[in-house]
Structure 1
Amino acid sequence: MDFEKKLNRLEEIVQKMEKGELSLDESLKLFEEGVKLSRDCHGQLTNAEAQVKKLVSVDDKGNAVTENFSADEK
């Protein structure tokens, strides 16, 4: 399942749980699914961040000088 589908499913789960109309068993199952989806989405975002390059400066020829994005920098 791609990121957008996982995120949409996670939003559906949150909406269902916020209504408060589910049984305890249904709530637990959805909670478990939500945690898994959340972890998957976080992992995908972490991988995407690792691929991003940030602009450091421009050299004397006008070329962009980049370096790998560090997830530690926020």
Structure 2
Amino acid sequence: MAAKTEEATLGYEQARDELIEVVRRLEAGGTTLEESLALWERGEELAKVCRHWLEGARARLDAALAKPDEDGATDGG
């Protein structure tokens, strides 16, 4: 359940920035197999956090777009 707790506490930008760093370290190489596996696992966790935030943002956007125009204006101009 650590991922659920992290989703609640880690912001999107923070998770994204850390994920970028994880990818950079993996691409640079020079790590042991154990270190690489740990980085990969951390990257998976961070990707889940980012996905959670993006899905929430999408849901909010969809909800906002589904609401009728509250001031009574129409698209017809």
Displacement after TM superposition at 1:62 (Å): 2.6
Larger RCO (CA within 8 A; separation ≥ 6): 2
State the distance in 1 between where 2:35 and 2:27 align.
Answer: 13
Displacement after TM superposition at 1:20 (Å): 1.2
State the distance in 2 between where 1:46 and 1:29 align.
Answer: 26
State the distance in 1 between where 2:73 and 2:57 align.
Answer: 27
- Return the TM-score normalized by structure 2: 0.69
Aligned partner (choices 33, 45, 56) of residue 47 of structure 1: 56
Q: Quick one: percent identity of the two aligned structures?
A: 29
Matched residue, 1:18: 27
Aligned partner (choices 5, 30, 36) of residue 27 of structure 1: 36
Instruction: Show structure 1 runs of 4+ deviating over 3 A.
Output: 55-58
Equivalent position amino acid for 2:54 in 1 = L
The structure where strand makes up a greater share of residues is: 1
> Over aligned residue pairs, what C-alpha RMSD do you find?
2.3
Aligned residues: 62
